[in-house]
Amino acid sequence: MEMSLKKIESGLYLVVDPSMDQRMLFHKLQQILEQKIAAVQIWDHWLKPADKEFVIEKICELCHAHHVPVMINNDWQLLDEFYLDGVHFDETPGNLEEIKNNLGREFIAGITCNNDLTVVEWATQHKFDYISFCSVFPSSTSNSCDLVSFDTIRKARQITSLPIFLAGGISLDNMSKLKELDFDGVAVISGIMNQDEPALATKKYLALLNHTL
């Protein structure tokens, strides 16, 4: 499946929960996409597996109309079935070469890092496109992640030139605490998707991000 890839380099990385009411999900996403965001990731949180095809195809349709790449969380096999742009791994895959051979096409690859810098080294060695640290702050949607120390993020910048995204509990109120770090973007889910006016929330995040970076 040939696609024109748009690399993820910096900005606001939106994570969406596919278990959300579909009409609400698509409506909010359409509003958010009026702003310039870096990417959309479909979180691996399916309550109704039968809806996967419709939800993925609709999200890809909406995002690609705005030239925004769509990532799938973990389930790399879906890249063979849909016009997804890449996969975001929560853990280092032991069969990366097999994945590449099975897909037979280029794709964007990202991975979640915590306080283990060997994951940063691994992602750099395997020429991933970006890394994402989780969880920077306490978060209800990232409750499986330990808190990442700022010192870890500083050390990561010393050992990699990959774009660094920060995720987990990042709100409009605590964005200013990130100023001391060298990073490229933030990943947000509830701070935007749970808002009544997601487009306005997106604008506010982007304004703070532009001021912080």
- How confident is residue 141, by pLDDT bands cut at 50, 70 and 90? low
Digit-coded pLDDT (tens) for 69-117: 999 999 999 999 999 999 999 999 999 999 999 999 999 999 999 999 9
User: For residue 3, what pLDDT is reported?
Assistant: 55
Classify domain 11-212 at the CATH topology level.
Answer: TIM Barrel (3.20.20)
Dihedral sign (CA 173, 168, 59, 184): positive
Which of the two residues, 48 and 66, has the higher pLDDT score? 66
Beta strand residue intervals within the chain, DSSP E: 11-16, 39-42, 70-73, 86-89, 108-113, 130-134, 164-167, 185-188
Ordered by start, the domain boundaries in the chain are 11-212
pLDDT at 43: 96
Q: Are 136 and 147 in contact (CB under 8 A)?
A: yes
Q: In the structure, what pLDDT confidence band is assigned to residue 132 with cuts at 50, 70 and 90? A: very high
